[in-house]
Structure formats: C-alpha cells, structure tokens
Amino acid sequence: MKIRSEYHKILFSANGRVMEINSRDYNRLYEALGGADNGIRREIRTLKTDIDEQMVRKIKNAAEESMTLLPNPRDSLRFPLHMNFELTSKCPLRCPQCYCSLENGKELDFERAREVLRDGAENGLWEVNLSGGETMLYPRLYNLIEECSKLGVSSNIAISGYGVDKTVLNRLIEAGTNAIFISLNGSTEEINSHTRDGYSYALNALALLCKADFPKTTVNFVAHNTNCDDFPNMVSLCEEYGVSRLVVMAAKPTSKYELNTVPSAEQTARLAENIQKARSRVKVSIGVENCYSPLRAYLGKSFLRGNNNSGIWRGCSAGRYMMSLDVDGNFTPCRHLLFVERFKTIGEYWHHSEVLNKIRNIEDSPGQPCGGCELGRYCLSCLAVNYKIEGKLEKRNKHCPVAEFTRAAG
C-alpha cells in the first residue's frame, strides 16, 4: 500500500471512532490486519502524538470490534464527517431571499455547541462549517474556533465580509480557522444586488485575505438566472484576489419557500461549459457543491470513463455524511431541511432519527422528472427544493434545468 503522507487518520466507520497514527505505525497496523484494511477508511491528517506497540494492538482490536458493531445506515456513513453549526440567525444585511434579521435573531448556546463538538470529535467528526446569519456577530466565535482546533476538528467559517478588518481577520486565523468562505453572487455590485446584499463588504474581506496571503479563501457563488452568465467574470475576480477556490452553489428556496431564480436550461449548459473552460485554464480551483447535484451529474457526463458523480458523494449529503445543529441546539438533516429533532448525542440522532431514515430511503420511489431521468443514478438532488415548494419529502425536482436535456436525450 502506498503511503501518501507522513500521518494518517483512521476512521472506523462502523462505530465512528477515530485514531491518528503515523506512517510507520500505519504500516504496522496494515501488517497486523493481514495486509488488508478491512474496510477501514484512511484519511490524511496532522498528528500530534506517536504510538507504540500497545496502541497498535488497541487499534487492531477497535478495528475488529467495529466490524461487528452498528451497521451503516443505508447508503450513508456510520457517523457524519461534516456538520453545519448555525451560530446565529442575526444579520445586519438584507439579502432578498433570507429569513435573518438583526432585531429578531437568536444565538446558539455556547455550551450546547461545545457539547456537540466534543461528542463529534470523539467519534470521528471531521469538519464543522460555522454559518449564520452573520457568523461575525456570534459573541463566542473565537472561543468556538479555538475549541475546534483543540479537539482536532477543522473549522470553516462562512462570512459576508461584514465587520471584518485586519485585526478581526488575524484573530480568525490565530484561532485556527481552516477555510474562510465569502459569499458573492456577482462580479459587479449591480449583478450581486439581484440576489445578495453587502458587495463592498465581500470585496473588502477578499482584499484583506489576499493581502494576508490566507491560503484557503473560498468564494461561494450561488448560481441564479440573474448572474449565471457572469461566471467568467467571477473567475477573473477570484484570480485578481488570489482566491484559492470558487464554488458554484445551487439556488435554494427562499424564506417564503419560493424558487424563482433557477437558471434556465440554456444558461445551465453555458455555465457548465464555462466551468469546464475555467478548470483547464486557471489556477483557482473550481468546484460545484454537492447540493448542486444536477449540474455535477451533467458535468460528469463528459468523462470518458463514465459519470464520476456517484456513490454517497453524488449529491445531497443530508443524513449521508453531513447533518446540522440549528440555532436552538437541535439536530436537523441540513440547514435547509427544518425537521427538528432533539437527541442528546450525534450517534443517537444518526442511527435513530426517523427523518434521516426516510431520507435514506428516498430513492425507492422517485417522482417525476427524476424517476425517468437518465442521470438519476448520478444525481441526488436537493430534497429541500421539493419539500419547501411541493410540501413532500421525496426525490423529485420540478425545477431541475438539466431535466430538459435528459428528456431530449431519452
């Protein structure tokens, strides 16, 4: 087996336990397991400790134990790798589609956040996305990021740019923030303003991050019918500001459960073409979020060896490898699927939630157009779209622009 890095994180996906070992010990473990990793997923990670023979034995026992413990929930990991923490629903900005307000917002109880974080860290949680509202308004933001760093959980923070100056940025970096996501829906104030507020805040934050040479700046670009054709300019803007990653995101239903700005089929085809062109041309890494599964599946069609948008990573991650903690401290499948359930631990929720169980069986009876779609097995499109617009939790996306191409092909 080829070792790619000096350190490894082993996730026992059967019971969600995680252990970190160095390459030498990984090789010994590999030998101890008879030359096979028996389904243990291996991940690369920074390690702080070394381990001895006794620990290798412990790991081996844990690995063997894990094979007979809890089964994987259907089509899902045994423990979530990612979580979203909704830190606050306060926000001073006024984006057209959003439910947040400065006056009526709430904040996540810090002790609850810490409790969930510790539970996650002990059991294999890999990464936390800190979101809002406006995350910068969360009173104990730096404490929470520091807690993540202490526990070895990656923390990404999504910001609008509001309230960010050099000092704030340095504090975020010093606390151990892994990646900073800036939301921007257009290369000009005018284009951005159709679907977002705060253009100047975002550009100011990008300029500061660029100056600080922060290595993991991501721009989140939500594709609407008002900005889709602006994508090439967004790529140029990201190049100008030294952005490391530009992620194309799907439009989600508004706070009024409407979805009127989905790009047309033609716009989507142009966007796909522009993404492909940019990927071969620029240094900025261009991604498409998992929630934008129809676009990922459509882009995947061009690969010679078949569509690689497959497996549990092919689309909607809710209950598959991701879940959320809402501002009231409850678990939900994702921040857009507001089925609130109160469980003490992540593991209890992951294995016993009726909502998650339903989500994991969603593909047994897909509605149209997804049922007859040739990309159906490469796409698990956003469940929040159908739920919020049609009131039903099922695999069905009447707003899918890609459906037009697949109907034509079929």
Residues that bind ligand SF4 (CB under 6 A): 91, 93-95, 98, 100, 132-134, 160, 197-198, 252, 291, 293-294, 297, 316-318, 334, 336-337, 369-370, 373, 375-376, 379, 381-384, 397, 400, 402-403, 406
| DSSP code, position 186 | -
Shortest CA distance to 149 belongs to which of 183, 172, 116? 172
Cβ pair 332, 326 in contact under 8 A: yes
| DSSP code, position 59 | H
Tally of CB atoms within 10 A around 310 = 14
Give min distance, CB of 182 to ligand SF4, in A.
11
Give min distance, CB of 370 to ligand SF4, in A.
3
SS3 sequence of 292-333: CHHHHHHHHCCCCCCCCCCHHHCCCCECCCEEEECCCCCEEC
What's the distance, Cα to Cα, between the start and end of the chain in Å? 43
For residues 15 and 218, which CB has a smaller minimum distance to ligand SF4 in the complex? 218
Cα–Cα distance, 66 to 17 (Å, whole number): 9
Give min distance, CB of 12 to ligand SF4, in A.
25
For residues 237 and 403, which CB has a smaller minimum distance to ligand SF4 in the complex? 403
DSSP string, 223-266: E-TTTGGGHHHHHHHHHHTT-SEEEEEE----TTS----PPPHH
Cα–Cα distance, 355 to 63 (Å, whole number): 29
Give min distance, CB of 160 to ligand SF4, in A.
4
Give min distance, CB of 94 to ligand SF4, in A.
6
Cα–Cα distance, 60 to 150 (Å, whole number): 26
Report which secondary-structure segment, H or E, holds 205.
helix 199-211
For residues 15 and 381, which CB has a smaller minimum distance to ligand SF4 in the complex? 381
For residues 63 and 327, which CB has a smaller minimum distance to ligand SF4 in the complex? 327
Give min distance, CB of 7 to ligand SF4, in A.
30
For residues 91 and 179, which CB has a smaller minimum distance to ligand SF4 in the complex? 91
For residues 145 and 222, which CB has a smaller minimum distance to ligand SF4 in the complex? 222
Give min distance, CB of 173 to ligand SF4, in A.
21
For residues 23 and 225, which CB has a smaller minimum distance to ligand SF4 in the complex? 225
